[in-house]
Amino acid sequence: MDIKREGVARKKRIKFTIYGILAVAALGTAGWRVSKLEPAAPTVERATVWIDSVKRGPMLREVKGLGTLVPEDIVVIPTLQDGQVIKVLAKSGEKVKPDTVLVVLINPDLDLATNDLEWQVKQAEANYADLKVRLQSQKFDQQAAVSSAENALKQASLNKDKDEQLFKLQLQTELNLKLTIANWEQATNRFHTEKEKLDIVKDSHDAQLESQQVQIDKLRATWERKKQQLTELTVRAGTDGVVQEMTLQVGQRLVPGTVVAKVAQPWKLRAELKIAETQAKDILLGQKASIDTRNGIIPAHVIRIDPNVVNGTRTVDCKLDGPLPSGAVPDLSVDGTVEIERLADVVYIGRPVFGQPNSSVSLFRLEPDGKGASRLTVKLGRSSVNTIEVVEGLNVGDQVILSDMSAQDQNPRIRLD
């Protein structure tokens, strides 16, 4: 009986040993398998992500920028004269016409100089009249001398004729005839001399009167200029429009060239857009654009591209090709879109949050059952405002998440709830 019990106990020990070994092996296997399991995919709310499908077809390439409406022409109105402001008759925002008075200046020195020139002109005119009378008197004296010489010549001519006839009748001596002829020649010479002096007097008088008239004209022109300068102390708009800027104060001293105001024509506006430097490189003159004023969209086209880069943007000017909607005024904030090109047949998707043209990005593509998404690398090509070309990595019909998924950078897969 003792031998039987010892055999049974031995068998039980062996059995327990085997069971222990099997249990340890099972636990080791289970632990190894658990260590090989991947962590559970995180869950993302479907409603919080932006999902888009890959499409194929035409794609319009556009670039977008913020900007403002600015007047096509701004008339800068400077003061032309030195003066002190005594009246300011216009304010910013007021409509003006060409004859609308903006500012009135005063300049006592200019006023005094104008009055002085007026009296100088009157004095010169009086001197001209006096000179004309004196010259006329000299002319009359010379005419009288010519008449006297002419009478003397006529008398000498008669005496010569008489003595020649008497000499033929031998009633006059040859000596007396020679004296008579000498007197006649002397009278003839004197007459011609006096007549030439009369012609010279006329030319001299004309020259003196012309010189005096030149002085009058010079003084009058200076006077007229001074009067014009006095008129310019009243500064007018000179054009139709709206006052854009008026900051002058009564009592302020102005020098020539000081800007009095800026007048713009609010019905002639253009859009001035700020386009990112990386996008503006594809813009060309003449390209179509559209300007959103929040109260209507206006067709436009590009007329100028600023070559300078300021704060990462370039300025693009667009001429408006349509009528302005109500409320469109200078400095109004607008959104502008410029059409770069139309691509006929490309594979494209909505533009991812971090999707840049001609780059590779990591996106989550939805699985066929739509309950999960796996990460993959997608190569992108040309871009537009809201769409971008897919060069490699996706097929037409694939659905991808375009939202910012940077929080899941460490996860190759997510679940959608």
Among 104-113, 119-128, 161-170, the minimum mean pLDDT is found in 161-170
Residue 264 confidence class, pLDDT cut points 50, 70, 90: confident
Per the model's pLDDT, the better-predicted residue between 10 and 107 turns out to be 107
Report the alpha-carbon distance of residue 119 to residue 273 in Å, rounded: 60
Q: Which residues in 197-332 belong to E strands, given as ranges? A: 234-236, 241-245, 253-254, 259-264, 269-276, 288-292, 297-305, 313-320
Q: Element (H or E) spanning 394, and its range?
A: none
Kindly report which listed range (62-76, 159-173, 247-261, 309-323) carries the lowest average pLDDT score.
159-173
Q: Domain 74-107+234-264 has what CATH class?
A: mainly beta
- The radius of gyration computed from the CA coordinates of the chain, to the nearest angstrom, equals 55
**Per-residue pLDDT tens for 123-149?**
999 988 888 888 887 778 778 888 887
- Give the start-to-end residue ranges of the domains of the chain: 46-70+266-416, 74-107+234-264, 108-232
**Local structure of 197: helix, strand or coil:** helix
Same fold, 46-70+266-416 and 108-232: no
Give the CB-side neighbour count of residue 414, counting CA atoms within 13 A: 22
Q: What is the pLDDT of residue 37?
A: 43
- Summarize pLDDT for 349-386 with one digit per residue, the tens: 998 888 888 889 989 998 888 888 899 999 999 888 88
Give the integer Cα–Cα distance in Å for 95 and 242: 4
Q: What is the architecture of the domain spanning 46-70+266-416? A: Beta Barrel (2.40)
The crossing angle, in degrees rounded to 10, of helices 174-232 and 108-168 is 170
Tokens 């068998």 belong to which residue? 11
CATH topology of domain 108-232: Helix Hairpins (1.10.287)
- Spell out the residues 6+ positions from residue 208 whose beta carbon is closer than 8 angstroms to its own: 131, 135
- Token pair, residue 77, equals 């109105």
- What would the pLDDT profile of 282-291 be if each residue is shown by its tens digit? 899 999 999 9
Write out pLDDT tens, residues 306-349: 999 999 999 999 999 989 888 888 889 999 999 998 888 899 99
Give the range among 193-207, 358-372, 402-416 with minimum mean pLDDT.
193-207
